[in-house]
Structure 1
Amino acid sequence: MSRGRLRPVDLARGHGLSTQAIRNYEEAGILPRADRTPHGYRVYTHLHALALRAFAALAPAHGHQTATAIMRAVNQDAIEEALTVIDESHAQLLKDRRTLAAVEKALRDLVPSGLPTPPESGMTFVGPLARQLGIRPATLRKWEKAGLIHPRRDPRTGYRVYTPADVRDVQLAHQLRRGGYLLNQISPLLAQVRSAGGVAPLEATLSDWRSRLTMRGLSMLTGASELQAYLRERDAGDPPNT
């Protein structure tokens, strides 16, 4: 890496960016302020190149907005603020991992329904379903009101009736509620189960989710390394202009 003067194009070329993007990054605080020539041209240095490398590594780990906040704080010498943002991002990744684990456990715990169902209709009613799960019928009605389940009404009696798909949704909601999840957190998952046509097609989705979480974790390691390299070099010499 050249330790002399660098043009915007020198920084842009190595990252597949435009020179305008480099100027935008400087304006956003991702890069420290550049000196200007007497004619007004920006002059970048190897420290700007390291800052750009750090941002490029942080973005896939934390997202563009969060990576911008980290670099802006660092370039304003607000290190504690930058570390807090990083900590919050790590905490979110841990939360996402726990959510995935809870979803996978809930899906594993789903068993083929042994619930008493009228053989002629393949449906069950609120009382037997509630007893099977050890919950109150009022809980099922609450879940219905919250939009988690959508039982139909028997046209002759007006009673709620639950299809096998409804029973599956109730079982999954029950497992997630036992895991401490709120109704508004459960609803999107049930919608995904319905759109996938059942639990089995979600295996690929869960595998992809797990892979993306792993990649985020590994990217965080790379981002931390590049950010440390930038900070070490910056603190070893004259600080960049701010």
Structure 2
Amino acid sequence: MEPSDAGGLDAEAALALLRGGEITVEGRLVEASNATLYCEIALDGARARCVYKPVRGERPLWDFPDGTLAAREMAAYELSEQLGGGLVPPTVLRDGPFGAGMAQLWIDTDDTVETVDLVRGGDRRLREIALFDAVINNADRKGGHLLPAPSGRVYAIDHGVAFHCDDKLRTVLWNWRGQPFDAGERALLDGLRAALGGPLGERLDDLLTRAEIAALAGRVDRLLARGRFPHPSADWPAIPWPPF
């Protein structure tokens, strides 16, 4: 994470603030389908903005167990860190004004960048997000979940509907479908597969079911065996609605 994208905080300082700071709710992001609160967080003179999603504000879904979306957001952050870090903003699980939930650092965006143009043009920065989404089985990668920041990075947010055991990949990032992985991408997948048998797997035990972790490992194995980005499934809508 670039400090210029998050009020001058680096990732380590942001995590400390998110874990121990006092959260003050300032508003609600009304376009979100679940309760998503815009907040200030403060600790020992340090201040920043964050998004807080309480578990009690999650809307029930037919295909995901109730009360699990915050944990899936945290699992996505853990996977992002394993794949090199800086893709998903610093994220923690903690108690807040409305109970347990997910708190994630707010990212300032570059308003001169059009997300539609990034997606339609196949911007190379989105390729790593496409790989990430294939790994976590993201069922809702809308264009609005991509945040172009002043530093030039593009961050990925909103991963509550991911890690399902069934194939549910639904995304606007199909630009690289069928293309072979490069050496760096294969190395990332190899490292992830090994990490799932170690500390990463232990951390995910508290966030996902054993079946979901096994399905995650299976997806990584299939991606490595096929050596290329997946194609859309014929059994599931390929693009979320609305896409942006």
Same fold (TM over 0.5): no
TM-score bin, normalised by smaller chain: under 0.3
Structure number having the greater helix percentage: 1
Greater relative contact order (Cα < 8 A, sep 6+) = 1
TM-score by length of structure 2 reads: 0.22
What is the TM-score of this pair, normalised by structure 1? 0.22
Normalized per residue, the structure richer in strand is 2
